[in-house]
């Protein structure tokens, strides 16, 4: 699948010296012809869902919505539009305390909508965002990708698959606290191997 449009999701709290941001730059550089839309969840944080949002996504009548509910629904629609428009999603994933950053969880909560990005069928849930590719760029100080204490990458793979994105590649710069130079060099080799 040729990559023509990329949605880049940055989640690192660090603006300078962020390994996940630097490696995401390297991944994006592999697709010089692609149009890139960037959603920086650290620079422009998303609100966490609340009772009002849960209520509105359960099918409340439009004329009963508060201004806050309308704004949250419009934001969710915008995020989903960005996701639907991209054929490749690049997600910078620093691992914080064995899991995903809270900003990324907020994004997930706003884009995972029944009847929009997935639906329930008699055969079980079905993702509606098919035909897309995701590249996860993981960085961690001490959590090894795929290890028993890595709760971030399996969760993110599951969520992406749940909404229909099953072609998922992982670039990992894990265990940076032990040998950052070798770890980053290894991750850059992984980036070089990505099919453009």
In the DSSP assignment, the letter for residue 138 is: E
Confidence at residue 1, expressed as pLDDT on a 0 to 100 scale: 62
Domain total in the chain: 1
Would the pTM of this model clear 0.85, i.e. be above it? yes
d(CA 30, CA 133): 14
Of 97, 118, 108, 7, nearest in space to 48 by CA: 108
102 labelled binding-site residue: no
Average pLDDT, the chain: 94
100 labelled binding-site residue: no
d(CA 49, CA 155): 19
Whole domain around residue 80: which residue ranges?
Answer: 5-192
Confidence at residue 61, expressed as pLDDT on a 0 to 100 scale: 63
Q: What is the dihedral of CA 4, 90, 20, 161, to 10 degrees?
A: -160
pLDDT in tens, 96-121: 999 999 999 999 999 999 999 999 99
12 labelled binding-site residue: yes
pLDDT in tens, 57-99: 876 566 678 888 889 999 999 999 999 999 999 999 999 999 9
Find the CATH number of the domain harbouring 136.
3.40.50.360
Mean pLDDT, residues 32-60: 90
């Amino acid at each position: 699948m040729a990559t023509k449009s990329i949605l880049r999701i940055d989640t690192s709290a660090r603006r300078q010296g962020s390994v996940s941001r630097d490696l995401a730059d390297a991944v994006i550089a592999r697709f010089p012809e692609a149009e890139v839309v960037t959603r920086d969840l650290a620079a422009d944080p998303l609100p966490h869902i609340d009772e009002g949002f849960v209520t509105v996504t359960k099918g409340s009548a439009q004329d009963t919505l508060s201004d806050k509910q309308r704004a949250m629904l419009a934001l969710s629609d915008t995020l989903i539009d960005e996701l639907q428009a991209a054929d490749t999603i690049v997600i910078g994933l620093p691992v914080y305390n064995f899991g995903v950053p809270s900003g990324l969880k907020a994004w997930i909560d706003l884009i995972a909508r029944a009847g929009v990005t997935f639906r329930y069928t008699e055969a079980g849930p079905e993702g509606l965002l098919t035909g897309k590719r995701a590249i996860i760029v993981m960085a961690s100080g001490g959590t090894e990708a795929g290890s028993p204490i890595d709760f971030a990458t399996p969760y993110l793979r599951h969520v992406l698959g749940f909404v229909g994105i099953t072609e998922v590649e992982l670039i990992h710069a894990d265990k940076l606290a032990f040998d950052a130079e070798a770890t980053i060099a290894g991750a850059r080799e992984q980036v070089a191997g990505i099919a453009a």
